Amino acid sequence: MTFNAAPTDLTGKVCLVTGASGGIGASAVAHFSALGATVYATDITDAFDGAATYKRFDLLSDDDLSGCCDWIAEIKPDVLFNNAALFAMGSVLDAGDLVQQDKLFGVNVRAFYAIMQACAKSMVEQKQLGSIINLASQAGHRGEALVAHYCATKAAVISYTQSTALALAPHKIRVNAISPGVIDTPMWATVDALFAKFENKEIGQKKCEVGEAVPLGYMGSPDDVARAAVFLASEQSSYLTAQTIGVDGGNVLR
């Protein structure tokens, strides 16, 4: 039997990674670069250490978001790893959480959509057979009492992924999402501290609990997510669109 083994090589591809300065984003930059891609990266920080051309944008700023979209038109990416997001927690009984809602929806939905739209327009204009990879979350598949806004934003990511995939299918542009579960990134120090505050736990307790609760028995790593992104960026996934891949150790059964 003969068969065509699709490559994971990304040589000649231009990849854009948002939220690139740490954790999952930094791992995606490293994986894409190692496989031969030309990588462009953006985040809100002024400091960036990675194999990519970097620009700083604050995605809550209309001017910066517009500037990022203009940059996309210049670099003409073949692959978008749409990763930038904010996380926060709070009680639905707290009237002040509308400020939190504005921030989370501003980055996780509004900016996410604008960047996806800019990449889609560029890919269509350039007649690129592009791949858009959106970062959802296991939180987008179910509600959580203290994480209502974040869950809602990630549910929106999944819905927009499906709709955009159908809209871009005639152009042979694939749009998929990754839903990470509990991933051991630097952000977990903040998440753990928030759970300690709201659930009256010891520092480090929540992180241990969520890792042990995963069916595979441990938290995932940023590399686990980046490897899924490589699959979606490469020809290995050429017949896959409008899907959300769970990288969660079995936490969410789909």
Residue numbers annotated as active site: 150
46: Cα separation from own chain's centroid? 20
What is the C-alpha separation between 23 and 79, in angstroms, rounded? 19
End-to-end, the C-alpha distance of the chain in Å comes to: 33
What is the C-alpha separation between 48 and 50, in angstroms, rounded? 6
**Order of strands, edge to edge, in the sheet holding 53-56?**
53-56, 38-43, 14-18, 79-82, 131-135, 174-180, 244-247
Per the CB < 8 A criterion, the answer to whether 177 and 154 are in contact is no
Residue 207 corresponds to which tokens in the numbers above?
């992180």
- According to DSSP, the β-strands at 14-18 and 131-135 are unpaired
Per the CB < 8 A criterion, the answer to whether 193 and 139 are in contact is no
- 34, amino acid identity: A
Sequence-ordered alpha helix ranges (H) in the chain: 23-34, 62-75, 97-105, 112-126, 148-168, 187-199, 205-213, 222-233
